[in-house]
Structure 1
Amino acid sequence: MVSMIGLVVIGIRLLTPEDPPVLLLKEEDGTRSLPIWIGNQEAAAIASALEDEVPARPMTHDLLAAVLTMVEPGVGLVVISAMEEGVYQAELHAGGSIIDARPSDCVAIALRLGWPIQCPRELMDQVGVEVEEASTDEVEAFRAFLDSVSADDFEDDNPSSEED
């Protein structure tokens, strides 16, 4: 039998503005996380669920969550099942069926329905990374910094460095 561990959504992170968003899933009783690079639309869907935002009209993940509630009136399950050639695999367990899906879509739905998210312990052992959580003081200091700067503070002091 495969040993499973519960995962908690830490949030979405942007490493740089050019990079795709990263979904961080942390093991419930540990310090490791699964970093999963996802698309911008999926990141927005996950972020809106984390913020408990309710759109004026249902979005795709809201629609699918409503359909799954009819199929599986109880609690379903999301499993981040494997990583194959650098791509995470996931499954949505609902109504006695297992549906292959992208991890980002599964997480967006799980957040809307309150479904648990799990992965095999072996997967976390293979690809999990230690992620330091920022302290409240660091976050507040960063917010204060952002409030105190303007775009003019980032002007290029050396305009001749551009190549022709």
Structure 2
Amino acid sequence: MIELELVGVRVELPHNQPIVLLKETTGERFLPIWIGAVEATSIAFALQGVETARPMTHDLMKDLLDALTVSVERIVVTELRDGTFYAEILMAGPSGETTVSSRPSDAIALAVRAGIPVFAEESVLDEAGILIDEADESETEVEKFKEFLDTVTPEDFAQ
């Protein structure tokens, strides 16, 4: 397993698809994972310390686990199968250790709130890891992401 740091949430151009961007803590590879707009907003809010009037789903999840005295130990992106990433949330509580399958976006949103590490299996990074020259990162992409955050509203997620 390889520990990752959360770089942030970005918008992939030209389709304006949000991605969460992770980077090896001891290497050069990045792991981009395409996620939904709701999860992107949840992760971005947690990274920015935004407090909502009512708990968002991932805040509620953390509050429930805390109330049940269950601690989240780590998140692991376990595999990439048919273009879909899979993750697990590893927890410890009064009844022992438990592992729960999760979408990586939900697991990462929980990890940010709980302040816990995110890992990936080596095979996932071998298959999906990329190298990015951080100096070449497009200003347009950064501006597009800022615009997305400035204009996103809860109504944007109604389906």
TM, length-normalised to structure 1: 0.76
**Cα shift at 1:73:** 4.7
Q: What whole-Å deviation, never above 9, does each CA across 1:29-65 have from its counterpart, x for those lacking one?
A: 1110111000000000000011011112111110001
CA contact (8 A) 1:20 1:38 kept: yes
Alpha-carbon separation, structure 1, partners of 2:131 and 2:22: 11
Alpha-carbon separation, structure 2, partners of 1:7 and 1:132: 17
Paired position in structure 1 for 2:111? 110
Alpha-carbon separation, structure 2, partners of 1:32 and 1:72: 35
Paired position in structure 1 for 2:120? 119
Alpha-carbon separation, structure 1, partners of 2:119 and 2:90: 11
Q: List structure 1 segments (4+ residues) > 4 angstroms apart after TM superposition.
A: 72-75
The percent identity for this pair of structures is 38
Paired position in structure 2 for 1:41? 38
Alpha-carbon separation, structure 1, partners of 2:123 and 2:33: 17
More strand by share: 2
Alpha-carbon separation, structure 1, partners of 2:8 and 2:90: 22
**Corresponding letter in the other structure for 2:29:** R
Paired position in structure 2 for 1:92? 89
CA contact (8 A) 2:65 2:71 kept: no
Alpha-carbon separation, structure 2, partners of 1:34 and 1:72: 32
CA contact (8 A) 1:34 1:127 kept: yes
Question: What is the CA RMSD across the aligned residues, in angstroms?
Answer: 2.3
Q: Secondary structure at the match of 1:88?
A: strand
**Cα shift at 1:18:** 3.0
Alpha-carbon separation, structure 1, partners of 2:78 and 2:90: 12
Alpha-carbon separation, structure 1, partners of 2:126 and 2:115: 26
CA contact (8 A) 2:79 2:123 kept: no
TM, length-normalised to structure 2: 0.78
Paired position in structure 2 for 1:66? 63
**Cα shift at 1:79:** 0.5
Unaligned runs of 5+ residues in structure 1 are 144-164
Q: Secondary structure at the match of 1:82?
A: strand
Alpha-carbon separation, structure 2, partners of 1:102 and 1:73: 20
**Cα shift at 1:117:** 0.5
Q: What whole-Å deviation, never above 9, does each CA across 1:95-119 have from its counterpart, x for those lacking one?
A: 2111111000000000000011001
CA contact (8 A) 1:68 1:94 kept: no
